[in-house]
Amino acid sequence: MTAPDPLTWRMPPRWVLLVGVLSIVCAEVAGASMARFKLELARWARGAMLTHPTIHGLVGVRDVDERILDEALVKFDAGLRLFHMHAEGMGLVVIATATVAATLAGPGAARRAIVGLLTIGGAGYPVGYLVWSALIPSQGLERAKTIAEWLVWIPFGSAAIVALWWLAALVAWRIWRP
Amino acid sequence: MSGPVRRPPLVVVLIAVVVIALGETAGAAMSRLRPQIERYAAARVAANAGVHGLSGSAEYDDDVRDRAIFTAEAGLSFFHLHAEGLGLVLFFASTLVASAVPGRTMRGALYVLLTLGGLFPLGYLAYGAAVLEVGRDTGVELAERSILTPLGLAAIAGLLGLVLGLARRRA
């Protein structure tokens, strides 16, 4: 058996590639669904908001309520768009950065931790936008945002950021001490 | 023809990872520190009242301040978006250069161009800061002329060079 060439990329574990590709697939499907089911989604969100008038501060005056509903629908739509965009990007980020970690980090706990944090953080973070959108009709704008923030964005986003800077430090170390 | 997927020099890999990490961190900062960023931007506009043309009339000044803050925040938002994208472009394009472009000199030149192009998003950080320090129009023009245009051209030249390198290998 020959030793691996140090100048070639090593593949990250298969489950990491699977998660990265799945994230991209979900983003594509979400993009297509947003275009195909735009009306249905808006109708569902509007209907759900009307069943929670106090949460949205609806007062029964058409002029006032329509403005509130429009604003919430814009945010609902923005959440879906942001999921589409972030899931596409983060899928690629997971594949690229896990490849760097698999190649340049020595085998052991550090490599497993970096790859794990990159994959779970990177693929989990965009889901926060779906959670935000899904919760807007029942929880209202601010509460939906707070839930998504503490449940998804902060834990998963922090994991991805910590792993990326850890990886950057590791690559810098490899340059400094080849 | 298939073959091993080679990696680019570590300096190029480091810059790609750092640019992506900066993009992620900027996104988190934009979300968590929005009020602080707005306050800082407003303070810088007030400190540079002359270049922003503040007149002392509250209504007019509020409008000028809001537009400057909006433009500075747009700079940060563009930085987040472009850093994520161009970090990946640098990673994948330089891997293609390492794997498929013949000639050490050509590869070296393409690494330099692509790496400079990978730094393009930093222009948007400068854009946001320049807007606050030297005024909206002057700041935008300064960032575009001195950073965004040269680095953007480097990215385009690097990618075109990669296309030529791939075509040459095929021929």
The pTM (predicted TM-score) of the whole model is 0.92
Cβ-Cβ contacts under 8 Å, B27 against chain A: 157
Please give the pLDDT value at position A4.
60
Structure tokens at A146: 């707070």
Residue range B40-57, pLDDT digits in tens: 999 999 999 889 988 888
Give strand pairing partners of B6: A8
Q: Is residue A52 part of a domain?
A: yes
Q: What percent of chain B lies above the pLDDT cut of 70?
A: 98
Is A121 within 8 Å of A156 (Cβ atoms)? yes
**Mean pLDDT, residues A111-135:** 96
Q: Is residue A7 part of a domain?
A: no
Q: Helix (H, G, I), strand (E, B), or coil: what is residue A96?
A: helix
CB contact under 8 Å between B21 and A161, yes or no, is yes
Model confidence at A121: pLDDT above 90: yes
Residue range A16-70, pLDDT digits in tens: 999 999 999 999 999 999 989 999 999 999 999 999 999 998 888 888 899 999 9
What is the rounded distance in angstroms from the CA atom of residue A48 to the CA atom of residue A140? 11
Q: Is residue A25 part of a domain?
A: yes
The ipTM is: 0.91
CB contact under 8 Å between A89 and B16, yes or no, is no
Q: Is residue A71 part of a domain?
A: yes
**Per-residue three-class SS string for chain B:** CCCCCECCCHHHHHHHHHHHHHHHHHHHHHHHCHHHHHHHHHHHHHHCHHHHCCCCCHHHHHHHHHHHHHHHHHHHHHHHHHHHHHHHHHHHHHHHHHHHCCCHHHHHHHHHHHHHHHCCCHHHHHHHHHHHHHCHHHHHHHHHHHHHHHHHHHHHHHHHHHHHHHHHHHC
**Mean pLDDT, residues A98-122:** 95
CB contact under 8 Å between A89 and B88, yes or no, is yes
Q: What percent of chain A lies above the pLDDT cut of 70?
A: 97
Q: Helix (H, G, I), strand (E, B), or coil: what is residue A174?
A: helix
Q: Is residue A45 part of a domain?
A: yes
Domain ranges in chain B?
A: 10-170
Residue range B121-146, pLDDT digits in tens: 999 999 999 999 999 999 999 999 99
Please give the pLDDT value at position A2.
55
Domain span at residue A138?
A: 14-176
The answer to whether A161 contacts chain B (CB < 8 Å) is yes
Reported confidence tier of residue A106, pLDDT bands at 50, 70, 90: confident
Reported confidence tier of residue A128, pLDDT bands at 50, 70, 90: very high
Distance from CA of B19 to the nearest CA of A (A): 10
Is B80 within 8 Å of B27 (Cβ atoms)? yes
B15: nearest CA in chain A?
A168
What is the rounded distance in angstroms from the CA atom of residue B95 to the CA atom of residue B89? 10
Q: What percent of chain A lies above the pLDDT cut of 90?
A: 87
Q: Is residue A116 part of a domain?
A: yes
Is A53 within 8 Å of A139 (Cβ atoms)? no
Residue range A137-172, pLDDT digits in tens: 999 999 999 999 999 999 999 999 999 999 999 999
Is A16 within 8 Å of A96 (Cβ atoms)? no
Please give the pLDDT value at position A71.
93
Please give the pLDDT value at position B57.
85
Q: Is residue A4 part of a domain?
A: no
Length of chain B: 171
Please give the pLDDT value at position B3.
75
The count of domains in chain A is: 1
Please give the pLDDT value at position A110.
92
Cβ-Cβ contacts under 8 Å, A149 against chain B: 31
Measure CB to CB from residue A8 to each of B5, B13, B31 and give the nearest one: B5
Model confidence at B37: pLDDT above 60: yes
Please give the pLDDT value at position A113.
97
Using CA atoms, how far residue A107 sits from A90, A104, B110, B171, in Å, is: 24, 9, 31, 40
Please give the pLDDT value at position A178.
75
CB contact under 8 Å between A168 and B21, yes or no, is yes
Distance from CA of B85 to the nearest CA of A (A): 7
Model confidence at A177: pLDDT above 90: no
Structure tokens at B31: 């979300």
Average pLDDT, chain B: 93
Average pLDDT, chain A: 93
Nearest to B37 by CA among B76, B67, B63: B76
Nearest to A132 by CA among A54, A76, A51: A76
**Mean pLDDT, residues A131-137:** 96
Q: Given phi > 0 = left and psi -120 to 50 = alpha, else beta, which region is B146?
A: alpha
Q: Which one of A23, A129, A149, A165 makes the best mutation probe of the B interface by having the most chain B beta carbons within 10 Å?
A: A165
Model confidence at B69: pLDDT above 70: yes
CB contact under 8 Å between A96 and B24, yes or no, is no
